[in-house]
Chains A and B, each alone.
Chain A
Amino acid sequence: MDGRLEHVLIQPSNIISTQAVSFRNGNPVLQFVIGEQDKYLLGGSVRLQGNIQFLTGAANLPPVNASNVALDCKTGVYGIISQVDLFSQRSRQNIESIRHYNRFMASFLPAQTSFQTALGSMGQTALTMPNHEIIRKGVVNNANGVDAASRQFTGSSFCVSIPTGLLNSQEPIPLSSKGWGLGGIICEITLENDSNCLYSTDGAVLEDTYYQLTNLSLICELVTPSVDALSSLMTQKAGSLEYNSISSYYTSVNSTNALVNFNLGVSKALSCVFNVISSTSLNNTTRNGFACLPFLNTDGKVARLGQIIWTRGGVRFPNHYNIDTNIRNLQSTTVYNTADPEVARQALGSFMPVEDNKHTQFSPASINREIPVGAAIDDIAVGGWNWCYGQTWDSVSNEGIDFSSVSLGIQMDVSLLTDNPQTIFLYVRHKNTLVFNESGLQVIS
C-alpha cells in the first residue's frame, strides 16, 4: 500500500483521574477509541501497554514471598482480559466480540509458543512464565514502586497484542467514515474479576487481594494513504474485509454420557477447540480459574475420556467414526497416564495445521492423566496443564463448513461418576465478511 506510517498512542477514554484501574474498585471496562479518519490501521501493530501491580491486605501492598497469592503462568497478563469487543465508532455496531478471552488464551498461547518463548519474549511482554513459582515471585510479588523515593512506576510493565480476527487479518483496516472504511474503531476490554484470575497456592481463600493497572494506553501504527491513493479511495463508496474470527460458547456437563449441542450460527466454520474446568473452580480464589484440565471427579481424580464423537446435524462429521481413546478398552483399575495421541493431535491442529506448528508447549508432561489431587492442582513444573479437545473441519479449501442451520454435537464417554459439574468453554474459528458503506456496516458470519 502506498502511504506514510505513523505511530499513535491512545489513552483510554473512560478511566478515572488517578489513572489507576482495577476491577475491584469499579473499573471493569477499558475503552479505547481509534477515531474515524482517512487512514488505515495496521491491526498487527495494536498493543495494550501499561503496568500491572498485585496488592493484598489492608495496607494494599504487594504480596511477600511467603504469601500464597498466585497468577496463572500460561496466560500472564492475558488472564485479566475477560472479553474483547470491537465496535464501529460511527455506527456503534458490533464488529467482533470474544467472550472468555482469557480461557481461550490459556489454550491458544501454549499451543502456539515454545517453552523458551513463554519464558523469553512472551515473558517480557505478556508476563508469562512456564513455572508457577517464578511468576509468583517475579510478577505477583514484584515490589517495584513500593518505595516512594526513586519510584518510576509500579508493578510490572507489559505490552501485549490483542489477538482477534479483525486485528490479525493481515489487511490494513480502513478507518474512514466516507464509505471506504469502518468509521473508526472502539476497542472495549472487559477486565476479569480478581477471584477468577488470582488464586492461592495452598487452597486458602484470598482476602483483599486484587490487581491494579496503571499507565494504560493503546499503541498502534496508522497509514496515511498518498494523495493519489486517497483521491482514488474517496470515490469508493463501499468495501469489504474478510477475516477469521473466534466465537465463544459455554456449557456444562455432569454425566458419564456427556452430550453437548451448540447452535453455532456461523456459515464458514473452520475449526473448534474446547477446554474444561470443574465449575467449582471458577470465580474461586482457592483454584486457578484458567487451569486447562481433563474431566475430574469430586475427589479430584481424572474422569477418563473413553470416546469422543463429533457430529454435525446429528451425523458424524468430519470423522465418520468414533474416536476411541487409548484407555477405552483398559480395565478401570489399570494405570495408564499417557494421553491419547489422536485427541491431542486434533486439539493442536484446531489452532493451525499440526505440520506447520513448530513451537508448542503441548507435551506428555503437560497433557497427562496423572493429575495430583489437591489445591496446587495446576502447579506442574513446566507451565500448567494443557488439556483441550478440538476438531478441524476444513483445512483444505479454507472456505469453512456451514453450521448456520445445523448444530454442532459432541458426544463423550467419560467416567464422570460423581456429582461434579464440568464447565466447557468452546471456541469456534470461522470466517467473517465485513461489508461497509456510507450508511453502516454488516458482519456476515
Chain B
Amino acid sequence: MDNLIIIISFKEINLNFIFYNKFLKILYFINIKMSAQVPDLMKIGSVDTEMTQDVQTIITDPVVFNQNTCRFTLQHIGFWHSNSRLSLELEPDLVGGLNAMGGDNCNATYSVMPGISSLIERVNLSVGGKTICEVEDFAHFDAYKGMFIPNEVNKDRESIISGKILNHGLNMVDDSTNLSTGYTIDNGTYPHTQTDTTGAFVPLSASNTTSASFMEDANGIFPNDNLLIRNGPSLTIAVSSLFPFLFFNQLPLYMIDEEVSINITWTPLASDRRACIQAEEGATQRFNIRQNSVQLISDYLTYDQNIMNAYRDANREMNFNYVDYRLAKRSYSASTTGQVQQILNVGGAGRIVSRLIVGLSDDNVDAQNLLNAFTSTSPGVVGANTQILTTNVRANDEYLYPIDRNNLSTLFHDVRMSEGLPPNVSRDEYSGEGGGGGGGLSVSTEADYNGYSVGQHSKGLRGQFCYQGHKMNKNERINSRGVELETQYSQVPALTGSQTYTQRCWIEVLRTATLIDGKMECYYA
C-alpha cells in the first residue's frame, strides 16, 4: 500500500508516462522514501526489500514469413526493452557456387552503410491493428541515422552486430616521410606493424615510433569474414532503430490487451538492393532471406508483481508523446533536376513538425559498389569546380533561414544542429570538396575496399552522404499549406538520358498515444 501511495503521488505530478529511466528513478525514490521512514516493527507482515528487476529473453519466430513480408507478434509480458533485436541473415545461393572460395560473388557483402538494414524496405509497429509507428524506405533512413554512430563504434561493435563499418584510416605512401595518399575504410584488417622502407617487418624501434604504417595489400582491403554472405553471418538490428520512438519509451506490454505486432516489408528480391557484389563478378544474382534466421530476440523487463500491479492501477489512463516519421519522395529526371529549383511539398499540414531529413539518391546504380543505392549525393564537380546545393524550407508562410543555405559546410552544420550530434563522415564523403589527388578519400589501389575505389563517386564513398537536416525551431503547428522544401542543385552527377534520382524527405511529426484500460489509441499532436 505504501508503494501504491507513493506511485500515485508521482502520477499527480504528471509523471504518467513510460520513460524507463524515469520509472527506475521513481522506484529508486520509493526505496529512499521507505528507508527514511521508521518501520513499524511490531506489526506482523513482510518487510519491504530492495526492488528486483527480472529480464526474460524470449526468441520469437515470425508468424508470417515470405520473401516479401514478415510479421511478429509480441507477448504481453512486462516492459519491452528497446534494445531487443531483430536477427537477419541472407541465404547464400548455392546455385551460384557462393560457398566456394573464388566462385561467383564469393565476396558479396552488405552495404558499408546501413549494413543489414538494407534488407528492410518498410517497417511498422501496430497495436490492435492501429499503426503506432512506421518508417518507409527504412534502409535509406537507417543509412542517414547510421552517420551518427561514432566511427570507432562502427569498427568495434557495429561491424559485428549490424554490418555498418564506416571508419577511417590513413593510407600511407612511405613511412619515412609520413606522406599519405588519403584515407580509406579501416575495418581492422590492416596489420599495424612497423616496416622498413623495403616493406620488411622490423621491431618497434626508436627510429620508427612516429610512423603509423600499414602493411598494405596491393589489391586493397577486403570485408571481414563475418560480413561475407557466403559465410552466412547473422546480423541484428535494435528495435529502437526500427522504431525511433523506442529510444525514449518502452512499451508496457503487460498493460496492453490488444495484439502488438511488427510488420516488415523486405527489400524486393528482384532488386539489386539487398547486397553489394564485388566488381569482377556478375550482378545478376539475388539473395533470399534465410527464414530460419529471422527472429525477434526480445527482452522483457518485469518487476515485483505488487509494483507491476500498482503501476498498472495507477496508470489506467496513460498518455505519452513520441515522434514518428512521414516520408515524401519524388523522382527527378535529367530534364527536371539540373539547375532547376525544385519545390517539394512534404506534408505536415495541421501537424507539429520538428525536423526534416532530406536526401537525394541515384536510382540507377546496381549492386556493384560499396553503398548500393543508400546514399545522398552531393552536388557534382565540373572540371575543378565544386557545385552547390541551394536549399531552404518554407512553413507557415515563412522561410526557416533568412537567406537560402548554399554553403556545403553550413548544410553539414545544420544536420548537426538538427540531430544534436555530428555526422561522422568526412568532408570528401559529405560534400566531395577537395577530394581526388590525395586530398581526401584515397584512389590508390591499395586503399580499395572489396575491389572498389573508395575515392570514386559512382562506386565508392565520395560525395555519397550529403544528407540535409533542418530543425524546425518555431515550435508551431503547420498551416494547411504544409511544409515546402526548396532545393536546387547546380549540377547532379551523371544525370543523363533516362536516369532518375529520387529525393526523399522524412518529416518528424509529434504524435500522442493513449492507453486506456488496455486499449491503445494514437493521434497526431
- A-side residues, CB < 8 A to B, are 4-9, 45, 47, 49-51, 65, 114, 116-117, 119-121, 123-125, 127, 130-139, 141-147, 149-153, 156-159, 215, 219, 221, 335, 337, 364-365, 368, 370, 372, 376, 379-382
CA of A138 to CA of B431, assembled, Å: 12
Let me know if B433 and A5 touch, CB within 8 A. no
CA of A376 to CA of B178, assembled, Å: 10
Let me know if A49 and B150 touch, CB within 8 A. no
CA of A143 to CA of B434, assembled, Å: 8
Identify which of A120, A137, A152, A368 contacts B422 (C-beta below 8 A). Answer: A120
Known A-B contacts A125-B413, A219-B410, A381-B180; the reply to A120 vs B168 at CB < 8 A is: yes
The 4 closest A-B pairs by CB, nearest first: A138-B439, A138-B434, A121-B422, A137-B439
Residues of A within 8 Å of B206, CB to CB, are 335, 337, 370
Known A-B contacts A4-B474, A7-B400, A144-B386; the reply to A47 vs B410 at CB < 8 A is: yes
Residues of B within 8 Å of A144, CB to CB, are 384-386, 433-434
Identify which of B168, B173, B209, B409 contacts A365 (C-beta below 8 A). Answer: B209
Known A-B contacts A116-B151, A379-B178; the reply to A121 vs B386 at CB < 8 A is: no
Q: Does B267 contact A (CB under 8 A)?
A: no
Q: Does B425 contact A (CB under 8 A)?
A: yes
Task: For residue A90, give the distance in angstroms from its CB to the closest CB of chain B.
Answer: 23
CA of A144 to CA of B435, assembled, Å: 11
CA of A156 to CA of B432, assembled, Å: 11
Let me know if B410 and A49 touch, CB within 8 A. yes
Let me know if B382 and A150 touch, CB within 8 A. yes
CA of A422 to CA of B29, assembled, Å: 58
Residues of A within 8 Å of B491, CB to CB, are 150
Residues of B within 8 Å of A370, CB to CB, are 206-207, 209-210
Known A-B contacts A146-B384, A337-B206; the reply to A159 vs B212 at CB < 8 A is: no
CA of A143 to CA of B413, assembled, Å: 23
> With contacts A117-B422, A143-B384 known, what are 18 further pairs, Cβ within 8 A?
A7-B401, A51-B407, A119-B183, A120-B424, A120-B426, A123-B427, A135-B439, A142-B434, A147-B384, A147-B385, A150-B387, A159-B412, A159-B413, A219-B410, A372-B210, A379-B178, A380-B178, A381-B213
Let me know if A124 and B427 touch, CB within 8 A. yes
Residues of B within 8 Å of A7, CB to CB, are 400-402, 473
Q: Scan residues 342-368 of chain B and give those whose CB is less than 8 A from a CB of chain A.
A: none
Identify which of A116, A157, A368, A372 contacts B407 (C-beta below 8 A). Answer: A157
Residues of B within 8 Å of A219, CB to CB, are 410
Let me know if A381 and B412 touch, CB within 8 A. no
Q: Which of B210, B412, B438, B491 has the most CB of A within 10 A?
A: B210
Task: For residue A43, give the distance in angstroms from its CB to the closest CB of chain B.
Answer: 13
Task: For residue A226, give the distance in angstroms from its CB to the closest CB of chain B.
Answer: 11
Let me know if B409 and A159 touch, CB within 8 A. yes
Q: Does B403 contact A (CB under 8 A)?
A: yes
Let me know if B385 and A5 touch, CB within 8 A. no
For residue B431, which residue of chain A has the nearest CB? A124
Q: Scan residues 446-491 of chain B and give those whose CB is less than 8 A from a CB of chain A.
A: 473-476, 490-491
CA of A130 to CA of B439, assembled, Å: 12
Let me know if A142 and B439 touch, CB within 8 A. yes
Task: For residue A217, give the distance in angstroms from its CB to the closest CB of chain B.
Answer: 8
Some 11 contacts from A to B, beta carbons below 8 A apart, are: A7-B401, A7-B473, A9-B403, A47-B410, A125-B412, A134-B182, A138-B428, A138-B440, A149-B382, A159-B410, A376-B177
Q: Report how many residues on chain B are interfacial, defined by Cβ distance under 8 Å.
A: 64
Task: For residue A10, give the distance in angstroms from its CB to the closest CB of chain B.
Answer: 10
Q: Which of A51, A121, A365 has the most CB of B within 10 A?
A: A121
- B-side residues, CB < 8 A to A, are 150-152, 167-168, 170, 172-173, 175, 177-180, 182-183, 206-207, 209-213, 382-388, 400-403, 406-410, 412-413, 416-417, 422-428, 430-431, 433-435, 437-440, 473-476, 490-491
Known A-B contacts A7-B400, A133-B179; the reply to A382 vs B212 at CB < 8 A is: yes
CA of A424 to CA of B401, assembled, Å: 43
CA of A134 to CA of B184, assembled, Å: 12
Let me know if A137 and B438 touch, CB within 8 A. yes
Residues of A within 8 Å of B440, CB to CB, are 134, 138
For residue B150, which residue of chain A has the nearest CB? A116
CA of A33 to CA of B167, assembled, Å: 40
Identify which of A5, A6, A158 contacts B409 (C-beta below 8 A). Answer: A158
Residues of A within 8 Å of B210, CB to CB, are 365, 368, 370, 372, 380-381
Let me know if B428 and A9 touch, CB within 8 A. no
Let me know if B209 and A368 touch, CB within 8 A. yes
For residue A10, which residue of chain B has the nearest CB? B402
Let me know if B473 and A221 touch, CB within 8 A. yes
Residues of B within 8 Å of A142, CB to CB, are 433-434, 439
Task: For residue B244, give the distance in angstroms from its CB to the closest CB of chain A.
Answer: 21
For residue B151, which residue of chain A has the nearest CB? A116
For residue A116, which residue of chain B has the nearest CB? B151
CA of A116 to CA of B422, assembled, Å: 12
Residues of B within 8 Å of A136, CB to CB, are 439
CA of A195 to CA of B406, assembled, Å: 31
CA of A214 to CA of B410, assembled, Å: 14
CA of A152 to CA of B382, assembled, Å: 10
For residue A114, which residue of chain B has the nearest CB? B152
CA of A219 to CA of B422, assembled, Å: 18
CA of A130 to CA of B426, assembled, Å: 12
For residue B425, which residue of chain A has the nearest CB? A120
For residue B413, which residue of chain A has the nearest CB? A159
Q: Which of B410, B425, B428 has the most CB of A within 10 A?
A: B410
Let me know if B431 and A65 touch, CB within 8 A. no
For residue B404, which residue of chain A has the nearest CB? A9
CA of A8 to CA of B402, assembled, Å: 6
Task: For residue A416, give the distance in angstroms from its CB to the closest CB of chain B.
Answer: 22
Known A-B contacts A114-B152, A131-B180, A159-B413; the reply to A121 vs B424 at CB < 8 A is: yes
Task: For residue A252, give the distance in angstroms from its CB to the closest CB of chain B.
Answer: 27
CA of A336 to CA of B168, assembled, Å: 31
Task: For residue B477, give the distance in angstroms from its CB to the closest CB of chain A.
Answer: 13
CA of A48 to CA of B433, assembled, Å: 19
Residues of B within 8 Å of A337, CB to CB, are 206, 209
Let me know if B178 and A156 touch, CB within 8 A. no
Let me know if A65 and B437 touch, CB within 8 A. yes
Residues of B within 8 Å of A133, CB to CB, are 173, 178-180, 438
For residue A148, which residue of chain B has the nearest CB? B385
For residue A64, which residue of chain B has the nearest CB? B437
CA of A132 to CA of B438, assembled, Å: 11
CA of A63 to CA of B435, assembled, Å: 15
